[in-house]
Amino acid sequence: MAQLTGMEQEQEDIKQHRSDDRVVKIVLFGAGKRGVKLLHYLLSMDNTEIVAICDRSDDSALRAAAVCTEAGKKKPSVYSGDRQSVAEILDREKPDAVIIATYWDSHAGIALEAMRRNIYPGIDVPAALRTDDLWQLVETSENTGTPCMMLENWSFRKDNLAVLNMKRLGMFGKIVHCHCAHSHNCIDHWFFDSESGEARWQAEYLLKYNRMQYPTHALGPVISWMDINRGDAFSEIYTIASAPLGINEYFRDRFGEHHPEAGRKYRQGDIVTSVLSTKKGKTLVINNDLQLRRPYANRWMLQGTRGVYDEEKGSVYLADFSPEYQKWEPWQPYEEKYNHRWWQTDFPSPSFRGADYIMLRQFTEAVRRKGPVPLDVYDSAVMSATIELSGISAEKKKSVPFPDFTRGKWQTNQEYFAV
């Protein structure tokens, strides 16, 4: 049977879905801030059942189970502490999918146990921290035939998908260069408790490493704009880091100079910049900028031979379409005109209108039809690999080769994301 395109597959799904009430059973690992947010979206969907909640903390697991019953859904099993192994939980619950929103060091292990049982893992970012673990995810997905998806929500944003539609229509010409950033002060709320200033689990990484700690939101849309793993592949990464000044200064200002964090020596530079090149001669600059006081920004920019998109300016210039020669025009009308079909859909409520809902809906639909996931294991691996590789490059002060997780298949792989 001829392979269906993404659009045909989706129409087929919609037809089937009318008569297909199969419930997708899900186990949630990690019921902290992010896990509970994802839980709300999953509970809003028809034919999705949370069969179990697992968290190291009794309180978090019980609170999340209560969220399910308050939403009028079945009470899930609750696993807390480390009394049961991941394997035991999966063997007992037999879910179709797991959602993993735990600490970074456990993502790969849970996903591997799931795939070995043909259970789809949806892993919150990053898929794993170590390149060896990423290879294991790739190989296990290939050997078991179980798709594995990192839940990179910014790939599903309305603006980014419209840019992708336009890129596919050739409106930017041949893609030459992209820029992206995660500029988001996470010191005042995510790495440390916002009230007490106490270190949360993530802060340990800032003591141990100097690298792009959280690059996947920046990279998500860019890898499909640049055809990474589908016609092109990253070849090298070079990274430099600024001095670490922001954390100490924030703690001095907020809690006084005697606060332990005001003087602690952090390895993590305030702004880490990586430059990547591709096999086909494209370039990319990424900034990791998580510990300075500043407004949020992603600074997505895509530049081709016939046009340029600048997210921060809210502007676009297209040599073949823009009315004035080399003058910016507003982006918004293009976002509406080239709106992706995933955004032309009903949302359960206005507050769920967003990238997270679309991403989870696409993921659960893929699980229901036992088909490919919207972001595959190779893309998940590429985005996550920049973490360890950027650290190695910054330390060695030289560029390092980028692994090819597709083992050459990037040359013949067809585009698939949001096609």
Q: What is the binding site for ligand NAD (CB under 6 A)? A: 29-35, 54-57, 60, 101-104, 106, 124-125, 153, 201
Which sign does the torsion angle of CA 386, 392, 398, 403 carry? negative
Cβ nearer to ligand NAD, comparing 123 with 316: 123
Minimal distance in Å, beta carbon 81 to ligand NAD? 9
Cβ nearer to ligand NAD, comparing 31 with 226: 31
Instruction: Give the distance from CA 327 to its chain's centroid.
Output: 33
Instruction: Provide the 10 A C-beta neighbour count for residue 305.
Output: 10
d(CA 99, CA 359) in angstroms, rounded, equals 12
Cβ nearer to ligand NAD, comparing 205 with 238: 205
Cβ nearer to ligand NAD, comparing 32 with 173: 32
Residue type, 15: K
d(CA 109, CA 98) in angstroms, rounded, equals 12
What is the residue whose two structure tokens read 């980014």? 160
Residue from 193, 153, 219 nearest 202 by CA? 193
Q: Are strands 315-318 and 307-310 parallel, antiparallel or unpaired?
A: antiparallel
The alpha-carbon radius of gyration of the chain (Å, integer) is: 22
Minimal distance in Å, beta carbon 153 to ligand NAD? 5
Cβ nearer to ligand NAD, comparing 55 with 133: 55
Contacts of 88 (CB under 8 A, 6+ apart): none
Cβ nearer to ligand NAD, comparing 193 with 253: 193
Minimal distance in Å, beta carbon 415 to ligand NAD? 23
Residues facing residue 179 across a β-bridge: 285, 301
Burial status of residue 408 (CB atoms within 10 A of its CB: 0-12, 13-18, 19 or more): exposed
Minimal distance in Å, beta carbon 361 to ligand NAD? 15
Contacts of 311 (CB under 8 A, 6+ apart): 159, 298, 299, 300, 301, 331
- Which two structure tokens, joined as six digits, stand for 419? 């096609």
Minimal distance in Å, beta carbon 125 to ligand NAD? 5
Q: Are the CB atoms for 150 and 123 separated by under 8 Å?
A: yes
Minimal distance in Å, beta carbon 64 to ligand NAD? 9
Cβ nearer to ligand NAD, comparing 356 with 415: 356
d(CA 47, CA 338) in angstroms, rounded, equals 30
Instruction: Give the distance from CA 116 to its chain's centroid.
Output: 23
Minimal distance in Å, beta carbon 384 to ligand NAD? 11
Q: Are the CB atoms for 381 and 137 separated by under 8 Å?
A: yes
Cβ nearer to ligand NAD, comparing 129 with 318: 129
Q: Are the CB atoms for 101 and 35 separated by under 8 Å?
A: yes
Q: Are the CB atoms for 54 and 28 separated by under 8 Å?
A: yes
Minimal distance in Å, beta carbon 355 to ligand NAD? 9
Cβ nearer to ligand NAD, comparing 110 with 262: 110
Q: Is 238 left (phi over 0), alpha (psi -120 to 50) or beta?
A: beta
Minimal distance in Å, beta carbon 54 to ligand NAD? 5
Residue from 394, 53, 126 nearest 237 by CA? 394
Cβ nearer to ligand NAD, comparing 62 with 392: 62
Cβ nearer to ligand NAD, comparing 32 with 231: 32
Minimal distance in Å, beta carbon 126 to ligand NAD? 7
Minimal distance in Å, beta carbon 27 to ligand NAD? 10
- Residue nearest to ligand NAD according to CB distances in the complex: 32
Q: What are phi and psi of 304, to 5 degrees?
A: -125, -175
